[in-house]
Amino acid sequence: MTLTRRDVENIAHLARLEITEAELPVYAGSLSAILAFVEQLSAAPTADDVLPMAHPLEGQVQPLREDRVTEIDRHEAYQANAPAVEAALYLVPKVIE
């Protein structure tokens, strides 16, 4: 699977990554190599009865939590890490709907 610059641009956009003009062909090359490498999987004998394995331990089921509030307001501590905060709101460039 060979990826074009366009392909890389599309993927980079989906992933919100800035890739420079100079970098585009480099990533196109390495991503194409990786995809070529994983092509081997297509030959694997996965007939219809082979189930995809999303979790490594079979038979594990989701535990359920009691519906109780145990968190307190710690927004000041958490917002110490925030790049831009005002009136306890996280700031981002305006989004127009």
Partner 1 sequence: MSLHRETGAEIGRGLAARRYSSVEVTRHFLERIERANPALNAFVTVTAERALADAKRADARIARGEGGPLTGVPVAHKDIFCTTGILTSCGSRMLANFVAPYDAAVVERLDAAGMVLLGKTNMDEFAMGSSNETSFYGPVKNPWDTARVPGGSSGGSAAAVASRIAPVATGTDTGGSIRQPGALTGLTGFKPTYGRVSRYGMIAFASSLDQAGVLAQSAEDAALVLGAMAGHDARDSTSVAAPVPDYAAGLEKPVKGLKIGIIREFFGAGLEAETGAAVRAAIEAFRGEGATVEELSLPNLPLSVPTYYVVAPAECSSNLSRFDGVRFGHRCKDPKDLLDLYRRSRGEGFGAEVKRRIMTGTYVLSAGYYDAYYLKAQKVRSLINEDFKRAFARVDVLMGPTAPTPAFAIGAKTDDPILMYLNDIYTIGANLAGLPAVSVPCGLSGGLPVGLQVIGPHFAEERLLAVAHAWQRATDWHRRMPGAYA
Partner 2 sequence: MSAVANGWETVIGLEIHAQLATRSKIFSASATAYGAPPNAQANLVDLGYPGTLPVLNREAVRMAVKFGLAIGARIAPRSVFARKNYFYPDLPKGYQISQYELPVVARGEVVILLEDGARKTVGVTRAHLEEDAGKSLHEGLGRMSGIDLNRAGTPLLEIVSEPDMRSAREAVAYMKKIHTLVRYLEVCDGNMQEGSFRCDANVSVRRAGASELGTRCEIKNLNSFRFVERAINHEVERQVELIEGGGKVVQETRLYDPDRDETRAMRSKEEANDYRYFPDPDLLPLEIDEAFVADVRAGLPELPDAKAARFAREHGLSDYDAGVLTASRELAAYYEAVASGAGEPKLAANWVMGELSGFLNRDGLEIGASPVDAAALAGMLKRIVDGTISGKLAKDVFEAMWSERKDADAVIAERGLRQITDTGAIEKAIRDVMAANPGHLADYRAGKDKLFGFFVGQVMKATAGKANPAQVNELLRKLLAGP
Residue 34 in the binding site for partner 1 (CB under 8 A): yes
Applying CB under 8 A, among 20, 48, 67, 83 the residue interacting with partner 2 is: 67
Q: How far is the CB of 24 from partner 1 (least distance, A)?
A: 11
Is 85:79 a contact under the CB 8 Å cutoff?
yes
x-or-dash string of contact with partner 2, 16-35, rule CB under 8 A: x-------------------
For residue 19, the Cα-to-chain-centroid distance in whole angstroms is: 17
Residue 93 in the binding site for partner 2 (CB under 8 A): yes
Q: How far is the CB of 33 from partner 2 (least distance, A)?
A: 22
User: Residues 2-19, buried b or exposed e (16+ Cβ, 10 A)?
Assistant: ebeeebbeeeeeeeeeeb
Residue 66 in the binding site for partner 2 (CB under 8 A): yes
Q: How far is the CB of 34 from partner 1 (least distance, A)?
A: 5
User: Residues 57-68, buried b or exposed e (16+ Cβ, 10 A)?
Assistant: eeeeeeeeeeee
